[in-house]
Structure 1
């Protein structure tokens, strides 16, 4: 893989792009194993059959309390990744969450189950911002949405692969053994991570001097082009209005995202009239397969056009419509199609959304901004699942819960439309027009 020819017509030699084949897959598999702890619980909960005596509200709490623990290490891990080492930070967290995941299968009471989920979220919380810092050292801004989306493709891909696996395992073992066994792979992958990943191109043994030089020039040009308002300190990052808006957008979006994702297997179980775990797991993979394709396509469109706002807002509008229609229509096939559409809509904004902080802030400030956005925004991961479970218990139907989730997504759309308008600090290139690269900025990697 090599970089594309210069858009300004200047002669240039092809630049190797091994970073796309070496950095992204290792990081994606690592986070796929982390995300397993969110999608396996969604498959397990409908089949606990009274074990621990969990009501729907209790199940929502068990899924959501993970995100309360998830908050605490966001900013510390981001700062450690930026000032010390993203590679080492992720390694430590990977070992800690693997052990925590395995031990969560040994709980005996409802309270212990809640505590295990909290501790698991605590250790996994710092991984996301640390990897975003790592990618910011390997991929210039013109490649950032695609790099983010290819890495974040592990989210739907994890569900595509692991939901059927979790279902199959439940058909052959207790839910406790499923949790124990699925906690072991992160401990093995930590070895691969240590010997493969480097914090910066200059530290990687497998990268060519040409590619390392290309990245150094491109990243330096990105930093020089950022407006002074982007700030050079952590306090500057927190004070910026667009950063505060991004926190709000992420919270309301993630509330809808996890409220839908956690309860998706339960909805599919209902559509199949109490199908087996293997059947439900296989059917659950279908919406996430659609989401994977749409997520990557939307990120590529965002990089090509520079329209970050539209790439975030438009899918969420589609998700609102699909969530509401899904509660109004009848029949397994139409409802399954709408579940696929909803999954695609709530996953599609990931790449473009996480490219926005890098456009606003210099590298030394973007760490705390990403940590803060992810920390406060992911509290929606607690609110969404719990709201759906509580409202289902209160009303006897999931209709009210999913309507509330659609309302949360609507607030996210309004915040994007009004809070991230051009002129608010967010660069927004017209469709089909990208600025020609300057003489010292090498071309970007292929779509």
Structure 2
């Protein structure tokens, strides 16, 4: 009888654990996934707007490179404050304010007529968006236990490639349909900015800051998740404070690894449509449809890599290998004939580097206390996001200076290799044991 009661209690505990985790995932992940798709579409729609703006406003590659990159000057400045506000104040209120602000600024970008106006609009947009990504990463750590975080992160960050799967053909279609005498690229900013405003309002009513406040969980479920997350705190709190996190070897390695990886990612995000159009000579709409293919493959790769990382309880190699594959593909882009089929295939392999993201971002929230993790996530994303300026600007500058994409591709290849090596230098087992 005692054995049966023990078995029954164990089964009941497992059922409670499984049901609670599934309910949290089903409630939160689809919503933040949609928010991040909207975020990335608004952040990177300049890549497709550039196809029309270059004709109408006469902007050069250097102007677009600086316009794409200057977003990250404002973005970097508010990374750490944004993450800490989510931790110390309210994720629900922060995300609402951030989304309404960036949606409004995206709409206003449609009024741009000069390079200076473009730079100003992009800078302010970056400042408005700054707290969203690190804030959501910290927010998810309030809800998901350690063993679920890489998978939750992969589901959330899968919005990056999927935003291009949706945004690329959508942008191509909008560009091809000017309306009321207004150019398509201006409508692109208006129509893609409005959803962020509406979703920001919805976030205020939908999100819950902490598990203890979740009316949509039963009392036993709330008790289980609060207790489980509390059990993870002591070991982390003993090891790491905010100031220790900022000086930690592993956090510094993560920061510089993020810089070099983001150099590759953002160069592709902002320049792939232009490169593909110049290679192929296709219409804006066709470029939009073809541009979706690499990101669909990247979406699948991200899901598989995040799942396999959790299954194997391994982070470093799962984060580094996609970057090494991207480096090899970049060598191919420089060495092989620039046909549409070859370029599209190799760019697909480069885009698959996004598979490193969920594994990479599982690391800081697993090895730090809550406030320290918020600071570290903000720091790592801030340093990484500097490459959001450096990558697109350097690529555009090198294109203008050399008249060839080879120099930009070579810079991306070197950065991919360096990032992968830095990730492998992170202390082995750090996600399980804490910072050393």
Give me the TM-score of the superposition, normalised by structure 1: 0.89
Moved more, 218-227 or 295-304: 218-227
Asked if the contact 1:39/1:162 (under 8 Å) is kept, the reply is no
Taking the aligned partners of 2:28 and 2:92, their CA distance within structure 1 comes to 11
Measured against aligned partners, the alpha-carbon deviations of 1:409-430 in whole angstroms (never above 9, x if no partner) come to 1111221122x0317x44389x
Measured against aligned partners, the alpha-carbon deviations of 1:2-30 in whole angstroms (never above 9, x if no partner) come to xxxxxxx9533413221111101111111
Moved more, 256-265 or 328-337: 328-337
Shift of 1:191: 2.5
Match of 1:289 among 296, 302, 318: 296
Taking the aligned partners of 1:140 and 1:151, their CA distance within structure 2 comes to 15
Taking the aligned partners of 1:155 and 1:166, their CA distance within structure 2 comes to 16
Structure 1 SS opposite 2:329: helix
Q: Aligned pair 1:60/2:65, yes or no?
A: yes
Equivalent residue, structure 1, for 2:427: 421
Match of 1:357 among 343, 359, 364: 364
Measured against aligned partners, the alpha-carbon deviations of 1:111-134 in whole angstroms (never above 9, x if no partner) come to 011100010011001101111111
Equivalent residue, structure 2, for 1:404: 411
Measured against aligned partners, the alpha-carbon deviations of 1:348-392 in whole angstroms (never above 9, x if no partner) come to 011111110012211121111111111121000111111111111
Taking the aligned partners of 2:101 and 2:341, their CA distance within structure 1 comes to 42
Asked if the contact 2:54/2:60 (under 8 Å) is kept, the reply is no
Taking the aligned partners of 2:427 and 2:247, their CA distance within structure 1 comes to 18
Taking the aligned partners of 2:369 and 2:31, their CA distance within structure 1 comes to 26
Shift of 1:177: 2.0
Measured against aligned partners, the alpha-carbon deviations of 1:149-205 in whole angstroms (never above 9, x if no partner) come to 101111111110011101100001221121122111111112221121101122222
Please, which runs of 5 or more residues in structure 2 have no aligned partner?
1-8
Shift of 1:291: 0.3
Match of 1:214 among 205, 218, 224: 224
The structure whose residues are more often helix, as a share, is 2
Asked if the contact 1:255/1:381 (under 8 Å) is kept, the reply is yes
Query: 1:196-345 maps to which residues of 2 (within 5 A)?
Result: 196-226=206-236, 228-229=238-239, 231-232=240-241, 234-273=242-281, 275-330=282-337, 331-344=339-352
Asked if the contact 1:255/1:383 (under 8 Å) is kept, the reply is yes
Shift of 1:319: 0.5
Asked if the contact 1:98/1:184 (under 8 Å) is kept, the reply is yes
Taking the aligned partners of 1:365 and 1:180, their CA distance within structure 2 comes to 38
Measured against aligned partners, the alpha-carbon deviations of 1:27-46 in whole angstroms (never above 9, x if no partner) come to 11112111112331111212
Equivalent residue, structure 2, for 1:186: 196
Taking the aligned partners of 1:272 and 1:203, their CA distance within structure 2 comes to 54
Asked if the contact 2:49/2:175 (under 8 Å) is kept, the reply is yes
Equivalent residue, structure 2, for 1:368: 375
Shift of 1:268: 1.8
Equivalent residue, structure 1, for 2:3: none
Structure 2 SS opposite 1:269: helix
Structure 2 SS opposite 1:307: coil
Please, which runs of 5 or more residues in structure 1 have no aligned partner?
1-8, 430-447
Structure 1 SS opposite 2:57: coil
Q: Aligned pair 1:170/2:171, yes or no?
A: no
Taking the aligned partners of 2:204 and 2:237, their CA distance within structure 1 comes to 36
Asked if the contact 1:307/1:428 (under 8 Å) is kept, the reply is no
Match of 1:122 among 105, 109, 127: 127
Q: CA RMSD in A?
A: 1.7
Shift of 1:309: 0.3
Asked if the contact 2:100/2:201 (under 8 Å) is kept, the reply is no
Taking the aligned partners of 2:336 and 2:221, their CA distance within structure 1 comes to 53
